[in-house]
Amino acid sequence: MPLSDLLDARRPHRADAARNFDAILTAARAEFTDNGTDAALDDIARRAGVGPATLYRNFATRGDLIEAVYVAEVASLCQDATRLAAEEEPWPALVAWVRHFITYMGTKRILLDALDRGTGAFRACRDALYEYGEPLLTRAQESGEARGDLTIDDVLRFIVGVTGAPSGSDEQRERILDMAVAGIAAPPLS
C-alpha cells in the first residue's frame, strides 16, 4: 500500500477533523523531537490545540501516533525525491536527497527505536524509500557521477550506518555528510 494511502486511510474526511488530524501529527513530531517518544500525550494534544479525546479518537495508542508520524516523515522524503528528480540534475538531486535522508535519520532515530518494525506500515516505508531513492541513484549512475557498482540497498544501509553515531558538533556532522557523499561518488577519470 502506498504511503499516502496509509495516512489517507486514517485521515478523517470532514475538513475540521482532517485539520485536527494534521495538527496532531505536527505537534507529535515536534514533541517527540523535543522530549522523546515518551512525551505526554496530553502535551501533544495541548500543542495541537485539541482535547485529549480528539487525539485518542484519531490515534488509539501511542504506537499508532508514533507510526503515523514516521509514515508522514517518510512520505515527505519520498515527495522530496520526486521533486528533486524533476528540478535538479542527476548528481545534485541524489546528493540533496542523501543529505535530507541523513538529516532526517539523525533527528528521527528516536521514532525508529519506538516503532514496531514488523508492521505493514514499517515495511511500506522501507519499500517506499527504496522505490523513490532508486531512480535518483540510477540517474546519477547513468550520468557517470555516482559509483556504478552501488545499489540503493548499499546506499541506504551506508546512510543508516553513518547516522548511527551521534556527531559531536554541527561541523563534525557536515564533515561526516561530506564523507558519505564522497563514498557514493564515482571515482574521477584518470
Domain ranges (residues) in the chain: 3-184
- CATH for 3-184 is 1.10.357.10
Residue with cell 523531537: 33
Is pTM beyond 0.75 here? yes
Burial readout 120-136 (b: 16 or more C-beta within 10 A, e: otherwise): ebbebbeebbeebbbbb
Q: Which residue has the higher pLDDT, 178 or 92?
A: 92
- Give the separation between CA 68 and CA 64, rounded to whole angstroms: 6
- Supply the pLDDT for residue 105: 72
What is the Cα–Cα distance from 73 to 112, expressed in whole angstroms?
Answer: 11
Check residues 131 and 164 and name the one with the higher pLDDT: 131
Q: What are phi and psi of 185, to 5 degrees?
A: -65, 145
Grid cell, residue 23, equals 495538527
Average pLDDT over residues 36-55: 94
Percent over 90 (pLDDT), the chain? 46
Distance of CA 110 to the CA centre of its chain: 12
pLDDT digits (tens, 9 = 90+) for 5-23: 666 667 777 888 889 999 9
Grid coordinates of 62 = 501511542
Give Dmax (Cα) for the chain. 65
Nine-digit cell at 8?
489517507
Task: Check if the beta carbon of residue 9 is closer than 8 Å to that of residue 20.
Answer: no
pLDDT of residue 142: 97
Which of 77, 75, 67 lies closest to 98 in space, CA to CA? 77
User: Rounded distance, CA 129 to CA 61, Å?
Assistant: 26
Residue 41 has pLDDT above 60, yes or no: yes
More confident residue, 36 or 140: 140
- Measured in residues, the chain has a length of 190
> What confidence tens digit (pLDDT) does each residue in 99-156 have?
888 777 765 666 766 666 677 777 888 899 999 999 999 999 999 999 999 999 999 9
Supply the pLDDT for residue 89: 97
Mean pLDDT across 89-95: 97
Given a contact cutoff of 8 angstroms between Cβ atoms, the answer to whether 140 and 90 are in contact is: yes
